[in-house]
Chains A and B, each alone.
Chain A
Amino acid sequence: MISEQDFQAATATFERLRSSIAEVIVGHDAVVRFALISLLCKGNVLFEGVPGLGKTLLVRTLASALGLKFSRIQFTPDLMPADIVGTDILTEEDGQRKFSFAAGPVFANVVLADEINRATPKTQSALLEAMAERTVTVGAKTYTLEEPYIVLATQNPIEMEGTYPLPEAQIDRFLLKAKVSFPSLEALIQITERTTEGRGIQLPEPTATAADILTAREIVRALPIAASLREYVARLVLATHPESEYSPAQVKEYVEYGGSPRAAIALVMGAKAHAFLDGEVNVRREDIEAVFRPALTHRLVLNFRGEAEGISTDTLLDEVWNKTATT
């Protein structure tokens, strides 16, 4: 049974966490929030942005603030699945040789999959099981990953040569996709100041434990949401499907596939986590709105016409939101 003290403690913990990250990461409050939402929802997050925006630093800071085990995988075209999940190696112990499992970097609490779209689809798919089921199967043996577990991937949207777009099955496993935008003038000044003076960037001390995060996850799951808001979420997701009666004309014209049921789950859970981070005890319409685009933007698959005309998924989602909000 969740008590008021539990709720207060959990919200206070995440407020501290957010503050400590903000001391390192400048101008990316929304991105940090999405990372925390994914953590609370037992999800993964995909950061998209040009190089040098601090995506990797953000993930390292988050891991440091949480006091969790962190690992980083730099995806390259020649990276093999075994390089990620690990492999059985022949070892000699007490004069006997046997195969033992050498765990890959995926065995951590916070995994940074840097430039994930540079690896081949086969290697990318090696993360699928870890991201969805929190398990890794090597050979005949399945290993359970330690909770809390989160994969934070980054990808570069402009340098497409030699990259492999993520397969739909994998991209659907990311709870949110957050766009890391270029920092503002003030943020840029602060960044240069923090990185070029004094001792440089200092990663924060841990402000939360794994247990705190697991408790917070329970609270988030228990957060009430009105039935009419659930229905609203379902209508929103259905509206991204071109064949749906709820979808606006633009979706019917430019979208090949809409959001999956995971999208609806992501919306509800994301909204709950968003409300929790705001210290609310119930989901509001604005919580749904806050996570609507990050939860659906990577789940819309444009058709040929949409691709040819350069239609943005954000534009389509705006249309869906506006049309569904009024019904």
Chain B
Amino acid sequence: MQFNFSRFLLNIEHRDRRFRGLSLACRLLFYGSLASITAILVLRWLIPSLNRGTLLLAFLIPAFLASAAFILGWWKRPDLPRLLLNLDDELKSGARISSLYEERLRGHDSFFRKRLERLVEPLAADWKRGLRLPRHTLRFLSAGLSGILIAGILLFVPLPFPQAASMVAPAQSETSATQGVRSTAPDREGSAASDDTAVALETHEQVPDSSSDPSDEDPLPLSPNEELSLESVLEELSSLSRGQAQVTAPTTSDELLNLANVQDQAKQALSDMLQDLQEQMEGSPRPLTQEESAGIQELAAQTGDSSLEQATRDLTEETDPAEMDEKMQDLIDEMDPSASDPGAVPETNDDTEDGSSQDAPRSTEISGDEEAGQKFLEQTAQRMEEQANAESQQEGQTQQAASQTDQDESKEPGEAGAAEARMAGEPDDLAQVGGEDGLGGNPSDGPQPGDVGFIQEEAPSTIGEEGDFVDEFVTKGVPIEMVPLQNGGSTRFVNFEQMDSILQGRDLPEEAQASIRRYFELITQPEGGS
């Protein structure tokens, strides 16, 4: 078979174009995979609700780039003389191939050409070893494939920053609405009960507290004229529900049990600490050190028992050793009566003086006994119900005095009923209306020993002439109107007619419209509480 130099050249050219395309493709595959990883991370960070199709596009960046690069590399014709010289160098053929190419190009039919053809012919059998895929191409290929793998993993695995992302996204688009909704933090700071609850929650569950964000502490006033899309309002509402439910209060029986357990452990630890101190001071009376005082007060704070906190505060301020010893003993007895009487059996009935002191031993028993746990829950719900009734009565009296009308009396049963329902076993409802903020409690009541994780706050405003109005539940886009009052002030209320027209104007499912309407009715109608 005669040596065909033209075909030989064609093969060389095709191989070079193929390799150049591959080299470029692998290089861009690598860089594209980096871009893909970055894009996926950034998109998932900034827009957590982004659909998978967009993320898939980001995932396919390297494939697009590599394909385009291969086509580009293949499309560009090589500089054949230089390519042949490189091939000669690789094959150590003494520039014979390129010299023969030159002779043929010039059309010389000389002795040199024939001689060169004879010399080049053996090279044609093994020329491919002189034109190999560059090593860095394989490196880029492996790195690129690894990058794609990582990008694929990032596409599906849950990332550790969804909470942060959910804060970043609204901050960019719907800042005022978000801040208006999340303005419970300052109010909660003023409440000792909420502090206790927050401490307990942080100790026990380590739940990220989004409400502690400094940006939330200064809510922007909501302008009645401001409007946002209904979709964003819905999104805000749902995130609000989730956030409140997670942070502010335990809403399930498990959480109640956990909280009680934490408080019980704090009491036990405080009791042990006081006993140790008492033993230490028997021989050598001395005042408490700063560390000891701080430790005692910290444990007392964790118990969630305000009377216990007050008693420990008195103890730490006491300087007389005898008085101190006596107070210590009182505290120990109060927390654990059996400590002074080792032979006594732990009580299981509500026969102690203070409800709060009953919680600790009971919680301990509950944790190991399902039946006792159910009993504990029932008792807690009962206490809360009583408390809610008392609150609503007190609130009714206050409003009655203010407005000189009898309408508040008709509201009490409904409000109390709602509180009862939420405390006794409707945590989801509680979450939907914004957790404990929906209770509209009296701030003068303060935290009660039985208030396991519930925060009572003063409603920041009122709506209409009767209903409580809570700014936190009204986001941008909600039609609000200002109405002057007879006494010279003004109040706000939600214009339901306008809301209906807004809802009907949007392309929302019927259920969503109904949910939104129900939500605002719930938080604004007098019977539902604020």
Contact = CB atoms under 8 A, between A and B. Distances in A.
Interface of A: 1-4, 6-7, 222-229, 231-232, 280-286
B96 interface: yes
Best-surrounded residue of B94, B99, B113 (most CB of chain A within 10 A):
B99
Interface in B62-97: 81-82, 84-85, 88-89, 94-96
B268 to A, nearest CB: 79
Given A284-B95, A285-B95, A226 B110 contact: no
A226 B94 contact: no
A286 B112 CA distance: 19
A3 B85 CA distance: 26
Listed residue (B82, B100, B102, B115) with the most chain A CB atoms within 10 angstroms of its CB: B102
Highest count of chain A CB atoms <10 Å: which of B95, B112, B115:
B95
Nearest to B79: A228
A212 B116 CA distance: 24
Given A229-B95, A282-B94, A282-B95, A224 B81 contact: no
B81 A226 contact: yes
B101 interface: yes
Contacts of A222: 110, 112
7 closest cross-chain pairs (CB), A and B: A282-B99, A226-B98, A228-B85, A284-B94, A228-B81, A224-B99, A281-B115
B115 A4 contact: yes
B98 A229 contact: yes
Contacts of B99: 224-226, 281-283
B156 interface: no
B103 interface: yes
A3 B103 contact: no
Nearest to A285: B95
A224 B84 contact: no
A3 B105 CA distance: 20
A280 B115 CA distance: 10
25 contacts: A1-B111, A3-B111, A222-B110, A222-B112, A224-B99, A224-B100, A224-B102, A224-B108, A225-B99, A226-B85, A226-B88, A226-B102, A228-B98, A229-B85, A229-B95, A281-B99, A281-B111, A281-B115, A281-B119, A282-B112, A283-B95, A284-B94, A284-B95, A285-B89, A285-B94
A281 B108 CA distance: 14
Looking at A2, A224, A232, A284, which has the most chain B CB atoms within 10 Å of its CB?
Answer: A224
A283 B88 CA distance: 12
A226 B115 contact: no
B134 to A, nearest CB: 16
B110 A228 contact: no
A227 B111 CA distance: 19
A2 B111 contact: yes
B126 to A, nearest CB: 19
Nearest to B93: A284
Contacts of A285: 89, 94-95
A1 B110 CA distance: 7
B131 to A, nearest CB: 15
Nearest to A8: B111
A282 B111 contact: no
Given A2-B111, A3-B111, 12 more contacts: A4-B111, A4-B115, A224-B100, A224-B108, A226-B101, A227-B98, A228-B82, A281-B119, A282-B94, A282-B99, A282-B112, A285-B89
B96 to A, nearest CB: 6
A2 B109 CA distance: 10
Nearest to B85: A228
A280 B95 CA distance: 11
Contacts of A231: 81
B89 A225 contact: no
A7 B88 CA distance: 24
Contacts of A225: 99, 102
B104 to A, nearest CB: 10
Q: Which of B108, B110, B116 has the most CB of A within 10 A?
A: B110
A281 B82 contact: no
Contacts of A284: 94-95
A283 B99 CA distance: 8
Contacts of A1: 110-111
B116 to A, nearest CB: 6
B15 to A, nearest CB: 18
A7 B111 contact: yes
A57 B89 CA distance: 40
A264 to B, nearest CB: 17
Contacts of B81: 226-228, 231
Contacts of A282: 94-96, 99-100, 112, 116
B112 A224 contact: yes
Contacts of B96: 282
A6 B115 CA distance: 13
Nearest to A5: B111
A281 B112 contact: yes
A296 B98 CA distance: 25
Nearest to A275: B94
A226 B85 CA distance: 8
Contacts of B95: 226, 229, 282-285
A3 B115 CA distance: 11
B18 to A, nearest CB: 22
A140 to B, nearest CB: 43
Contacts of B111: 1-4, 6-7, 281
B98 A2 contact: no
Nearest to B106: A224
B336 to A, nearest CB: 86
A9 to B, nearest CB: 12
Contacts of B112: 2, 222-224, 281-282
A227 B102 CA distance: 7
B123 to A, nearest CB: 13
Of residues A3, A6, A228, A285, which shows the largest number of chain B Cβ atoms within 10 Å of its Cβ?
Answer: A228
